[in-house]
Amino acid sequence: MAPAGQEDQVQGFAPVAAADARVLVLGSMPGVASLRQARYYAHPRNAFWPIAASVFGFDPGLEYGQRLLALQAAGVALWDVLQACERPGSLDADIRGDTLVANDFAAFLERHPAIVRVCFNGGKAAALYRRHVLPGLAVPLEYIDLPSTSPAHAAASFERKLAAWSRALKLTD
């Protein structure tokens, strides 16, 4: 039997980002469905891929690798605030605060200097970033809090989420 909490240890994914990415979308930590499939936003009811497909004009049914390429071509990078934590299940509310390890954003932003905007996929991602990452960063960025695309966030309709995400994902020069 695993030591207490060990079965709840969660490890995040590497970032998906082209060298010229301009927008970074941050979740908190992948959910159980995503971790099982080793894919960002893998839960079938998560609205992220339908929203991104609508904004950037690709088929949301594309193979996962093709969807990632479409995002990268649009200048969008994906990552999560946390590298690791303990969390039973998929809910952000269940992340154990004393176990979280933030990703190395200083190094990431150094490798991706074209990023000018960070979009938070939900309130927990924004709160974690502002508490555990932002105080140590010296890079001036625009931050946008967005409604979570998670099926657990049913308070906002798909249409409302799409409208908010559409404005945030597209940069105007």
Residue that the structure tokens 């941050």 belong to? 26
Q: What does the alpha-carbon distance between residue 52 and residue 71 come to, in Å, rounded to a whole number?
A: 8
Q: Domain total for the chain?
A: 1
Tell me the three state secondary structure of residue 36. helix
149 lies in some domain = yes
Amino acid identity, residue 15?
Answer: P
Tell me the three state secondary structure of residue 166. helix
Could you count the other beta carbons within 10 Å of the beta carbon of residue 60?
Answer: 14
124 lies in some domain = yes
14 lies in some domain = no
Q: 66: domain range?
A: 20-169
Residue 67, domain CATH = 3.40.470.10
4 lies in some domain = no
8 lies in some domain = no
Residue pLDDT, tens place only, 124-147: 999 999 999 999 998 899 999 999
28 lies in some domain = yes
pLDDT of 91 strictly over 90: no
pTM over 0.75: yes
Q: What is the dihedral of CA 160, 163, 167, 170, to 10 degrees?
A: 120
Q: What does the alpha-carbon distance between residue 158 and residue 134 come to, in Å, rounded to a whole number?
A: 30
- Token duo for residue 8: 């709840």
Residue pLDDT, tens place only, 27-70: 999 999 999 999 999 999 999 999 999 999 999 999 999 999 99
Residue pLDDT, tens place only, 142-162: 999 999 999 877 788 999 999
- Token duo for residue 26: 């941050």
Backbone angles phi, psi at 40, to 5 degrees: -65, 135
- Token duo for residue 81: 């605030």
Answer with the residue of higher pLDDT: 156 or 85.
Answer: 85
